[in-house]
Amino acid sequence: GESVGLHLPTLSVQEGDNSIINCAYSNSASDYFIWYKQESGKGPQFIIDIRSNMDKRQGQRVTVLLNKTVKHLSLQIAATQPGDSAVYFCAEIPNQAGTALIFGKGTTLSVSS
Amino acid sequence: DAMVIQNPRYQVTQFGKPVTLSCSQTLNHNVMYWYQQKSSQAPKLLFHYYDKDFNNEADTPDNFQSRRPNTSFCFLDIRSPGLGDAAMYLCATSRDYAGGYTFGSGTRLTVV
């Protein structure tokens, strides 16, 4: 079936660097995307979302970019901090009635001091 | 603060012994979801309630059941847990399918 996936299972960066986490989705009908952060032993925490009528959205230290042409989603974290170390998931909601949130595979971000 | 609360945080059950996990919410969201997350994997949707309407995923085993007695509470029942059912179980809520998705902290289930 169609699903959301991430390009890299792991990403290691130095504190202060900018991080970019990528996600490719295959369902062209999807119209809502969310990035989640999950720390060990905790539930997913909402970071930022974007709808398909936008190509960029900014939050505090985070930016999500959506390229519908190539069905690609990315999460940019500015000035990455050790507290950003976690697993990051992108998730989508296909534009279908009665469809719930579907997760991609996740990228583990490790930030070293 | 409005939130999604899962109890217990950790649950140990015996192989084959029925177990129930609970979820409550103060967000007044009309949709409640149960996800299963195994180690190093993404959360996988088991089923969800849209108001009182139950929506089961096609590949969810019959061993998993759910109840939603009211807007605020939702239960996950595992009738005969196997070793392969050991996982983190996550409850989530949303307003319709439009947004506001909020997750609980999860229940870590161990089967012995």
Cα separation, A101 vs B97, whole angstroms? 8
Which residue among B50, B92, B99 sits closest to A98, beta carbon to beta carbon?
B50
Cα separation, A67 vs B93, whole angstroms? 28
Nearest to A61 by CA among A77, A50, A38: A77
CA distance A14 to chain B (A): 23
CB contact under 8 A, B90 and A105: no
β-pairing verdict for B53-56 and B44-50: antiparallel
Which residue among A93, A97, A105 sits closest to B42, beta carbon to beta carbon?
A105
Q: Does A105 touch chain B (CB under 8 A)?
A: yes
Best of B96, B97, B105, B108 to substitute, by most chain A Cβ atoms within 10 angstroms, is B97
Q: Check if the beta carbon of residue A47 is closer than 8 Å to that of residue A62.
A: yes
Three-state DSSP at B83 gives helix
Encode pLDDT of A50-106 as tens digits. 999 999 999 999 999 999 999 899 999 999 999 999 999 999 987 666 678 889 889
Q: Does A41 touch chain B (CB under 8 A)?
A: yes
Q: Does B56 touch chain A (CB under 8 A)?
A: no
CB contact under 8 A, B41 and A46: no
Looking at residue A2, what is its pLDDT?
A: 38
Encode pLDDT of A14-54 as tens digits. 999 999 999 988 788 888 999 999 999 899 999 999 999 99
DSSP string of B10-76, one letter each residue: EEEE-TT--EEEEEEESS--SEEEEEEE-TTS--EEEEEEETTEEEE-TTS-TTEEEE-SSSSEEEE
Q: What does the pLDDT profile of chain B (112 residues) look like in tens digits?
A: 669 999 999 999 999 999 999 999 999 999 999 999 999 899 999 999 999 999 999 999 999 999 999 999 999 999 999 999 999 999 999 998 877 789 999 999 999 9
Cα separation, B24 vs A8, whole angstroms? 35
Closest residue, chain A, to B97 (C-alpha): A100
Q: Check if the beta carbon of residue B43 is closer than 8 Å to that of residue B110.
A: no
Nearest to A64 by CA among A47, A81, A76: A76
